[in-house]
Copies of this chain bind each other. A is one copy, B any other.
Amino acid sequence: MTNRNVSKEERRNSLLSAALSAFGKRGYHETQVSHIIKEAKVARGTFYLYFESKRVIFDELVTKISQKIESCIHPIDKSIASEIPQQILDNITRVTDLLLKNPLYLKVFLSDAVGLDREFDERLRRFYHRVLLNIQKGLNQGQELGLVRSGNTKIISVCLLGSLKEIYYQHVLGTTKAKTHEIVEEVYLLVLHAVVEPNILAKMLP
């Protein structure tokens, strides 16, 4: 029998984390409501007391994850140009840290959420769109300041985003097992080389 001495909030959270674990282990479609309630040690009916459907709990999970990710990305303070690189570095570090420490986030966000259905694809599209706009804005400002080399900043943003996503994805797939600081450093260097104006770059590298 279930422990009845828990608040509604606790029960909700316990269902959410059971769902995270279940979706992370088997993917959205292979996961059955049975798996979630078994893990949460809760009866079938209880599940529907907290979430309208399997789809809805997944939605909420993905929303939470994307919020956590976005909360890692702090706006860049451009008042002191020389500190911008470190701020970018910090952003990348925080996101990478979050995701590598929570592989289930990665699994759910990069695998299960992809291609679920039109509506979900649209949500993902919007999320990535926000992220991309952010990056692109940074690149554009960098170009204006003469720090960033010329080029199609839209496409460059996509590449930068893709670089990170792929690193995380390969991490999930188990191809690579690098640590946060290695990844961050290497990605940072890649970004520097990839986008910084060569003259500036020379001064930035040790």
Contacts and interface: CB of A to CB of B under 8 A. Distances in A.
Interface of A: 27-30, 107, 110-112, 114-117, 121, 124-125, 128-129, 132, 149, 151-152, 154-156, 158-167, 169-170, 173-176, 178, 182-183, 186-187, 189-190, 193-195, 198, 201-202
A159 B114 contact: no
23 contacts: A27-B116, A114-B114, A128-B173, A132-B175, A149-B193, A151-B186, A155-B167, A155-B183, A158-B170, A158-B175, A159-B186, A160-B163, A162-B162, A162-B163, A163-B166, A165-B165, A190-B194, A193-B193, A193-B194, A193-B195, A198-B198, A198-B201, A198-B202
Contacts of A173: 121, 124-125, 128
Contact of A114 (B111, B151, B198): B111
Contacts of A129: 175
Nearest to A28: B115
A177 to B, nearest CB: 10
A166 B167 contact: no
Most central of A110, A115, A116, A129 by chain B CB within 10 Å:
A115
Contacts of A162: 159, 162-167, 169
Nearest to A23: B115
Given A115-B28, A173-B128, A175-B128, A158 B152 contact: no
A154 to B, nearest CB: 6
